[in-house]
Structure 1
Amino acid sequence: MPDSAPRQPPAAAAAHPAAEHSRTLAGILLLLGAMMLVPMMDGLAKHLSAHYATVQIVWARYFFHLAFLLPIVLWRYGRAVLRPNRPVAQVLRGGLLLGSTVLFFAAIRSMPLADAIALVFVYPFIVTALSPLLLGEKVGIRRWSAVLVGFAGALIVIRPGLGVFQWSALLALGGGSVYALYVMATRKLAGSNPPLVTLAYTALLGAVVMSAVAPLEWVAPRPLDWALMALMGAIAAGGHFLVIRAYECAPASLLSPYGYSEIVMATLVGFVGFGDFPDSVTWLGVAVIVASGVYIALRERQRHLPPATGGKRDQRL
């Protein structure tokens, strides 16, 4: 899941079809690489949850993320990084991602990774549903229909009342809902700071807040677990850096469908690491969520095509 403000490819690249194609391909490969990495972080969090409280695991994710990222940001941007634009909005945005992370890590303590990530992917539907209210965007009947179908897919995964419902599924769904607000805050902040700087402030906020909370449930980590916590932070920093680079190379609307590859990797990590594999009904729900999300992404892309490229825009989108 992206952790940065998407930026469009430079206009110079757009003027040369071959260069634009190369940048688009690079963006896709970078995002796929990130989606292969991030579920490994989630798998480490699930493994560590057998011995440590959620708040301690979230602290480790942010603390080591910041430890790996901050030297790079200071080297690249110097002291200017200490004076962010729109600091209140930066804090709000970082707080939303922190809340989403806490809910998600709490969910995967007792439910399969693939199921939890599939439920988090309701966030595109929530963004679409709230964008008229919070972003002033128009949403047509087709995208509203996709939103309803996507939520139906989430209900298939959760299956309330059918004997397989887990309360942790509501935590994952809550994580996706809060992440949707984070995505909308990211849109509002687009261009106010370089994406890498925004990511550093997000990590800093998480590290500071969780450093105040984690001692309440602290358990002294074993040496190997310290290493796993550091690895978790390194994967978080590396994965989100790849996401930043991906969105610098290609438009968000084009890349969005590839983000669902995270579910595939999460399934692999869950099966290899924990013996979890989604049943056929869960796969049906995942397929509905993915199909609806991809439809929304494609509609979003078509909606932003200039008339010369995409013809007359469909006002019913």
Structure 2
Amino acid sequence: MALTDNTRGALLMALAMASFTVNDAFTKSVTPYINTGQILFVRGLMTCALVYVIARHMGALRPIKTLLRPIIVLRCLCEVTASILYLNALALMGFANISAIMQSLPLAVTLGAALFLNEKVGWRRWTAILVGFLGVLIIIRPGPDGFTTAALLVVGSVFVTAGRDLLTRRMYTDIPSLTVTMTTSLVNTLIGAALIIPFGGWQPMDGYVWSHLFAAAVLVVIGYQAVILSMRSGDIAFVAPFRYTSMIWAFSIGYFVFGESLNSWILLGTAIIIASGLYTFYRESRRRQPPIAKTSTRIQ
């Protein structure tokens, strides 16, 4: 039985979220041993090698001028900036907490579409966005001194990642997803190398660190491919809600791997964010539906 475009997109999004979440777990496990720049460099180098082999096998390699298209370069810069912010937050904040806050990403995408792409957003979706970010505040619970560094880092990562997703929607359809993944990995590697010394210098790595970073690299490749293909396959209003499947993985990993407790605040905040996001997707799908023509019951 052939899958519909929406079903294929939803499955790919679920796969992407599982890949990224487990990748985050592997990455978080090495943050006590090496700095953010070194993580980006080593993981990026491995990712580049994997993507190059796959792209060459599939005939998806493109001339360098294709990789330097402005929209691809800008998307890559958003990706690497989000990675830097996120990795630093990952070292400072609980795994389940940071994953829950990242669920506000669809709301940030809607906000960005309204502000920068002139997409019409009604008062209902604006309300949903505000309520969703209230859920973020419930999870963060800023104290008398305001937001913590980790909270600012992860919220910044949300908005920069939203910019990446908006650019993905605007990319030319003739650009292979492997080309985008290859370029993103290359930029991550180069910027990671430049940040190693400013972030504390190169640290020796044992088998534990190497193996975890290799596993993370494999999952990053799968995640990059899946999320790009999912955004191109199905209707975004149908596909995007499947981002929330990542919380199944995040809560499980946070509890069983990192020994984190799930308090009532994080559960409440997550529920508010997800409910707001689902309502936003619902309103967006309603807005995109063609109007139903009215029929007359009068006998002519």
TM-score > 0.5 by shorter chain: yes
Q: 2:30 aligns with which of 26, 45, 48?
A: 48
Corresponding letter in the other structure for 1:177: F
Q: 1:115 aligns with which of 97, 108, 119?
A: 97
- Cα offset for 1:54? 1.6
1:101 corresponding residue in structure 2: 83
Query: How far apart, in 2, do the equivalents of 1:302 and 1:51 lie?
Result: 49
2:287 is aligned with 1:298? no
* Gaps in structure 1 of 5+ consecutive residues: 1-17, 313-317
Residue pair 1:114, 1:264 contacting (<8 A) in 2 also: no
2:225 corresponding residue in structure 1: 241
2:250 is aligned with 1:266? yes
* Gaps in structure 2 of 5+ consecutive residues: 295-300
Query: How far apart, in 2, do the equivalents of 1:69 and 1:43 lie?
Result: 21
Query: How far apart, in 2, do the equivalents of 1:300 and 1:197 lie?
Result: 30
Query: How far apart, in 2, do the equivalents of 1:84 and 1:77 lie?
Result: 14
Query: How far apart, in 1, do the equivalents of 2:146 and 2:280 lie?
Result: 29
- Cα offset for 1:192? 5.3
1:9 corresponding residue in structure 2: none
Measured against aligned partners, the alpha-carbon deviations of 1:200-248 in whole angstroms (never above 9, x if no partner) come to: 2111111122122224521021123112111110111012223334345
1:315 corresponding residue in structure 2: none
The correspondence of residues 202-213 of structure 1 with structure 2, limited to 5 A, is 202-213=184-195
Query: How far apart, in 2, do the equivalents of 1:188 and 1:24 lie?
Result: 19
Query: How far apart, in 2, do the equivalents of 1:75 and 1:27 lie?
Result: 24
TM-score by length of 2: 0.88
Query: How far apart, in 1, do the equivalents of 2:172 and 2:137 lie?
Result: 33
Measured against aligned partners, the alpha-carbon deviations of 1:14-57 in whole angstroms (never above 9, x if no partner) come to: xxxx74x5443343333223322221110111110011112211
**CA, structure 1 residues 71+83, in 2 after alignment: closer, same or farther (shift >3 Å)?**
farther
- What is the aligned length? 292
RMSD of the TM alignment (CA)?
2.4
2:76 is aligned with 1:82? no
The correspondence of residues 150-229 of structure 1 with structure 2, limited to 5 A, is 150-161=132-143, 166-191=148-173, 193-216=175-198, 217-229=201-213
**CA, structure 1 residues 153+55, in 2 after alignment: closer, same or farther (shift >3 Å)?**
same
Residue pair 1:81, 1:197 contacting (<8 A) in 2 also: no
Report which stretch shifted further, 70-79 or 139-148: 70-79
- Cα offset for 1:164? 11
2:286 is aligned with 1:277? no
**CA, structure 1 residues 54+75, in 2 after alignment: closer, same or farther (shift >3 Å)?**
same
TM-score by length of 1: 0.84
**CA, structure 1 residues 258+276, in 2 after alignment: closer, same or farther (shift >3 Å)?**
same
Query: How far apart, in 1, do the equivalents of 2:112 and 2:185 lie?
Result: 26
